[in-house]
Structure 1
Amino acid sequence: VDASNMLKPALSRGELQCIGATTLEEYRKYIEKNGALERRFQPIIVNPPTVEETIEIIRGLKVPYEVHHKAKITDEAIILAVRFADRYINDRFLPDKAIDVIDEAGSRVRLRKASQSPEMKKVQREIDSLVREKKIRIENQEFEKAVELRDKEEELRSKLELAKEKWEQENSLSEPSITEEDIAAVVSSMTGIPLNRIEEKESTRLLNMAEELGKKIVGQKEAVEAISKAIRRSRSGLKDMRRPIGTFMFLGPTGVGKTELAGALAEFLFGHRDALIRLDMSEYMEKFNISRLTGAPPGYVGYEEGGQLTEKVRRKPYSVVLFDEIEKANPDVFHLLLQIMDDGHLTDSYGRNINFKNTVIILTSNISSKALDKGSLGFHKDDVDLSFDKMEKDLKQDLKKEFNPEFLNRLTDMIVFRPLTLEDVTQILDIQLNVLNEQMIQQGLTLDMTDEAKRWLAEKGYDKNFGARPLKRAIQRHLEDFLSDEMLKGRFKSGGVIEVGLADDSLVFTEKSGALNTVP
């Protein structure tokens, strides 16, 4: 006889009055399958409290937590903890996650109070040093010196005791408070979002967004402005909060900065480039590969691993999701994308609901470059006088032939990238040289390149049909290959400055001692 059969008679006669609490999953698993037992209970669904209700709940819990952590919890800290928990912590519910933030912040303050003062740490380091030295003296049978060190150690220990008493007396007079900075630091550690992104006023950052992105993305002013406006529009509250922050289609020829802008956007919004989840759509050309996005069905190989898309978003809900070269994907991929773009969530193979409301969805396509090569848009690729506005209009018309209207209709914006000019490539060269210089500084060297040499290298790495990628190969061939060989030979002295100039249509590398070599 199981417990349910023992409880049912008493419950039906009213001899036993029972209140139980369980999750929906456990209720379905153990109670709902037993119809007779389920009939004797009145199910009541308890929804998570609102932000305002959670604030009132934590105000009621404030005193026990203050006594436990020996710290004062301000009302501002409570409000901030609830709002940050509601916004940034997605895989749990209020009030539990907000209470945990307050509890963590209280522990943080108490540990900070219990730590030693700078003076105490300094004295403790001196004592440790004396103990090590005294041990060595004893081993070497230098007993007179060991006695002197022992006496000095006792003096320092007395000094440490006095400093400790003073420190405890000062702390006992003032009760520490949990501040807004403590709350922000705890939420940052729980979510992985950088602290400055949480503390900094978002309106100021969003207003300067185009300027910040423009420092890393060259020659794409229209694209940067378009995505900045769309992000500002969504973050100002003028969008459906269930949907992703934005869904963008990046169009343009190869090597013009589509993927680079996605990485720069991830760094700007979420603090680091690791927030970029990149999926190459060439891996999903076959129909049977599509299930890898949400996870293999039960009973199939790879079920335990989870989905390549859903698992990454579940682990990092604040991220930029990049679907690279979307035109290569099987058409069934677009059915998944429609659900993300419209409802803001996907269900993985475990039945978990994965929320995409804090992600930016970016799809890149080279369909425009193919059309340009074929001349199918009504103009030739060598037509220099072609206006960008006409090109943009024709490319968007061409998209309508490739993608379904219900897919295009759900995009936040379609952003067209310009082909790069020689001036753009020269600016990109400056950015690449700064990166190279930072690497050389770590080796104790500095690179200084003349404007004439920069122009020469930019021309070597410029190809209007391939964007900025040939420039990287030119830097490797004409700069990095020679520098790496000379560094391995030990030709450069640490702290030296390597000047790169141009002579006889080749780069000349000069150190303070004189010319080293030329590279054609």
Structure 2
Amino acid sequence: MQPTNPNQFTEKAWAAIARTPDVVKAAQQQQIEPEHLLKALLEEEGLAASIFSKAGINIQKLRDRTDEFINRQPKISSSTSGVYLGKNLDVLLDRAEKERKSFGDDFISIEHILLPYCKDDRFGKPLYQEMGLDEAKLRNVIQQVRGNQKVTDQSPENKYEALTKYGRDLTELAREGKLDPVIGRNNEIRSIIQILSRRTNNNPLLIGESGVGKTAIIQGLAQRIFSGDVPEYLKEHKLIALDMGGLIAGAKYRGEFEERLKAVLKEVTESSGQFILFIDEIHTVFSAGATCINNLFRSMILQEMLHCIGTTTLDKYREYIEKDAPFERRFQKIYIDQPNVKDTISILRGLRPQYELHHGVNISDAALVAAVTLSSRYIIDRFLPDKAINLIDEAAAKLKMEITSQPEAIDDINHQVIQLEIECLALKKETDPKSLNCLNNLYKELDDLKEKQIILKNQWETEKCFTVNIYSLKENIDLVNMQIDQAEREFNLNKAAELKYGKLVDLQRQLEIAKLTLENAKTSGIALLRQEVTAEDIVEIVDRWVGIHDSKSVKS
């Protein structure tokens, strides 16, 4: 069934139209009408769903209302009857063509199809009214999504909101408290701010080995922009991290990757300097893209149309950037070396609360020191602070796994109980006095073991319950602290005081009670669950990583 010419539509718009016969057949109907096309558009989490979501529409409710309308329409009993284009859908597609012309586009896209529903008295208009959506609001949302993009090919959706799709707003992540604190990198961050403040050649390029903390420094800059601890002209800027993997993924041909990157660069340049583009491993722009993309990116940098921060390693810098002298001069190099042992310990102490909260365990200071010193001594193919952070992360993950699994003491008793039960079954067949006496002794030993098994299981369940409660309270305390910081930044002092001296104090009191209750719940005097990562845990991880099977040699 070909109700119209597919060459008039974008690929995704035509794909939705092509699915409508299946929607009609599933509903046991014959005419393809606007409701069937809207259902097909909503079945795919694409541009239509994105536009409705930005307009504040509940997508599931919209689907439900569409299904209800479809189910009220007449049905046919014959499964062999064909389907055909209904008059109402024909009118809607004609109006979509008019919308295409008014936008100055070359193809009918999904947004052109959504607008005519505002004039569809039979289905679309009442539905939009019920959802609180009018034509002016819908056009405004579509304009926000499209930006200045024109539909000049059959895959325009990949270029809409390119920065949102292929970039992460680090300043927004800082606002949401999703970035780790950056410790001991003040000089490097100040250098970046100083370069960004220059009139020309104001593109910082961080050069250093993988794992020395280049990306963390950029996150520290994002946090400073959010907190306002930057020069006045930088306070309204947004730091966008470009996702090169997302740009490349799913591109069916090299030209599609080029179109995506062009759309990103176009949004950045048209923002009047609002966006600062961060490209981690900036050499991938040259190694993954075609020559025309290299030339486009290079041209925008040379003409100072693009405000950019890049990171790369020294080897890749020499291979891809240093050879191009005019391009290389547009970047101001900042060499990032790995921190020393003392500074790395400070970094880990600053990160400790985040890792404790994530894993629901405590991390001793001795474990932090061991992670830094042992990784510096034995793990020679990686760099600080990354390798030390990885040690802490893995040790905490291992302890968390032990908390959620059955303790070794209970596991041993379970095996003993099974063994005794097997012996009892074997002796039941015997009738001589000696065997019967042995059986009685085994029953008594089995009863004692089962009693101990019950006690330990109850203790484990109790400890696990209180451990989960403590973890939940710590999460709530962290959330309240973030709310307090936000209230203070907004000068909402009443709310900040209410949270700080009310809710926070109450949660801290509950946490202390939960910790005390957990200690009292350890009836055997020996805790079944460990709560703290120790230096021995770090030694065990290093022992496994570097292949030194004698742990004493690692400790020495």
TM-score of the pair, normalised by structure 1: 0.38
Q: Greater share of helix residues, 1 or 2? A: 2
Q: Greater share of strand residues, 1 or 2? A: 1
